[in-house]
Structure formats: C-alpha cells, structure tokens
Amino acid sequence: MTNAHAFSFTSIEGKPLPLTAFKGKAVLVVNTASACGLTPQYKGLEALWRAYKDKGLVVLGVPSNDFGAQEPGSEKEIQTFCETRFGVDFPLTSKEHVIGAGAHPLYKWIAGELGEGATPKWNFHKYLIGKDGAIAGTFGSRVEPESGELKQAIEAAL
C-alpha cells in the first residue's frame, strides 16, 4: 500500500527531501504563498512548528503559484521573505503545482485517496499526515494554524 512516505520533494535549497525522512513523525503539509491575504498564517505555522517539533511534528511548506499567481518569486526570494517577515525555519520545498495535471505526485496521491473534492481550493490548505504515512486529516485554507480543531488533530496524530 502506498502512503505519503513513498513521495519526495526538493527542498527550497535544492536538496532532495524524501518524506521517508519523516517516518515516525506527523507532517503538516501546507501549500503556501507569499502574496496572499492568508500569508499571515506563516506566523501560526511557525508557532505550531516550535510548539510541537520536539514532540514529533514536521510543518512542511509547499510554495505554489497555482492560486491567484500569489507566489511569483524565485525559491531564494520565497525563502528570504519567509525568514525575514515571519521567522520561518520549518522546512520549505521548491515551488510546486498542487492542482491539475502537473500537480506534485503527493498531491495527486491525496486526490486519489480522498477524491477531487479534497484538493486544495486556495493557498494554505493543510493536510495532516500521520506517523505511518496515512492521511490523518485535511483542513481548508481558512482553518487557522493555531485553531483548536487543527491542534487536536495534531495531538491525536502524535
């Protein structure tokens, strides 16, 4: 059976980022954008990372220009923006497509597992992957990173 650990990204620094590196950890995968009204969610994502990383949570930002062309910059520009504006030090991937035929294979797998209705509809859609690589939850763009709903799911996954 395929799970999320079967997939790999490239880090924003250009290095391999296999999800097998996160076996035994819960992973919150979030498609991000630097010029979106929801961009302040970076602050909450960083707070989640800091609160839960020692308990086994990985926050993984996946920059995407798929919605409203709100992530037009290069990887270096995205990384600099995230670090200087929001103090982000959780892992970020290279810029990826998260919807459509060109979507990253992880996003295609999630759509296959949960149906097209579970695909991201906007920036900052969140998928929680359990320690075993199975999908443990999906949260729309408007679910704040520090919401009780998301924190409960993370704690259950840990």
CATH of the domain at 45: 3.40.30.10
Is 17 a domain residue? no
pTM beyond 0.85: the answer is yes
Query: Which position among 36, 48, 59, 128 bears the catalytic label?
Result: 36
The total number of structural domains that make up the chain:
1
Task: Judge whether 68 lies within some domain.
Answer: yes
Q: Given this model, what pLDDT does residue 2 score?
A: 86
Clarify whether 82 is annotated catalytic: no
Indicate whether 73 belongs to any domain: yes
What average pLDDT does this structure show over 84-101?
96
Structural domain harbouring 110: 33-157
Overall average pLDDT of the 54-69 stretch: 97
Give the integer Cα–Cα distance in Å for 111 and 139: 14
Residue 97: inside a domain, yes or no?
yes
Domain membership of residue 75 (yes or no) is yes
